[in-house]
Amino acid sequence: MRLPFPTIHSHCTSHALPSLPFSLPFFKPSPRRPPRGVRMDSSDRPISTLSLRRQKDKILVIMGATGCGKSKLSIDLATRFQAEIINSDKMQVYKGLDITTNKIPIHERNGVAHHLLGVFDPLDGEVSASEFRLTAGLAISDILSRQKLPMVVGGSNSFIHALVVDRFNPDLDVFGGASNPVSTQLRYNCCFVWVDVSLPVLEDYLCYRVDEMLESGMPEELSEYYRWEDPASQPGLRKAIGVPEFERYFKRYPPGRAGAGAGGGEWDEAQRREYEEAVREIKENTCELAKRQIGKMMRLKGAGWELQRVDATEAFREAMKVRTASDSSKNNKKKKRKKKRWMEVWERDVVQPSMKIVNRFLEE
């Protein structure tokens, strides 16, 4: 039963992004052999620095700010390269709050295996970067043992850094200041694909996405969470955007009481203002998160990480046109044309460039 939370109308509405309808050849691991001209030692191993780098296991890493299309691109690529996905989003590793943490629904995964997605019990404490490094590393080994391509996907750059660097020191915050330099010595042969969207376009999209999450049941999900759980006992999950923003609201209007959105009571003006303030904070904090994530990726790139940027800005502009189109039958054909246009731009600007990057990487 849906709870009577009000709809907060923004300047647009959201629709799910459709999957692209084409496929390409699967990934097939190539035999490991030294490049031409590389001298071998007595154990038949190449001794050049470059060839040693190539002996490392290959993994694909999809990076980008929140809401930039990483999950969609990862599915598009995984279905073409026989890949399996390892989630590297700090909030999505926990069980629960699937809408609030924006976990990709099962029906949108197209049968692609996902690892570390909603597997940690939030009551067991916060997942550390060291714990993620260990569990994700084991997942990579498992995927490689089955001749599949490991694909790490998520916006938590601290988790990605912890996973891929050769020597990880959990006591150093490489994103906290210039005194702790970012390591360029990696334990995997990594292909970094950075899905980038112009910040003004991304911020507009993120606000629409929050509206979509609200309409999909985020307030009801949080109401149940605050009704049965103590956020203080879940230090990791309680940091998910939406949980702290709604804390004051649910303290004043506890779930299950009349007038609190769960008992059939009428909303008064004060309650509506409190609810709208929580929504405003969610949108603001989501945009701030995107800025911080972009700043961290710029730091990694500046340190020498080979982040290969794919510009999805035009695709997101087209996606916004689809979202703002009317659902009336009169405009249905026009909306279909906009949707088709969006799919074409997504394929041209995001999927095809990413495919070229991955193909070059696998052929090295």
pLDDT digits (tens, 9 = 90+) for 16-50: 333 333 333 333 343 434 433 333 343 344 434 44
Is the pTM higher than 0.95?
no
Q: Is the pLDDT of residue 306 over 90?
A: yes
Query: What pLDDT sits at residue 22?
Result: 32
Cβ partners under 8 Å of residue 294, min gap 6: 65, 196, 199
What CATH code would you report for 58-197+297-363? 3.40.50.300
Q: Is the pLDDT of residue 263 over 70?
A: no
Q: What is the mean pLDDT of residues 86-91?
A: 97
Instruction: Give residue 259's pLDDT band: very low, low, confident or very high (50, 70, 90).
Output: very low
What is the DSSP secondary structure assignment for residue 281, as one 8-state letter? H
pLDDT digits (tens, 9 = 90+) for 207-258: 999 999 999 999 999 999 999 989 899 999 999 999 999 999 999 999 865 4
> What CA–CA distance (Å, rounded) separates 204 from 197?
11
Query: What pLDDT sits at residue 54?
Result: 54
> What CA–CA distance (Å, rounded) separates 223 from 76?
34
Count of other CB atoms within 10 angstroms of residue 339? 18
Contact 288, 211 (CB under 8 A): no
Listed residue (85, 57, 56) closest to 151, CA to CA: 85
> What CA–CA distance (Å, rounded) separates 120 from 184?
30
- Averaged pLDDT score across all residues of the chain: 85
Q: Is the pLDDT of residue 287 over 60?
A: yes
Three-class SS of residue 74? helix
Lowest mean pLDDT among 11-15, 106-110, 170-174, 175-179: 11-15
Query: What pLDDT sits at residue 177?
Result: 73
pLDDT digits (tens, 9 = 90+) for 94-122: 999 999 999 999 999 999 999 999 999 99
- Phi, psi (degrees; rounded to nearest 5) at 196: -115, 145
Q: Where are the alpha helices (DSSP H) in the chain?
A: 49-54, 70-81, 129-145, 157-164, 199-215, 218-228, 247-252, 269-302, 313-324, 332-346, 352-363
Lowest mean pLDDT among 24-33, 122-131, 141-150: 24-33
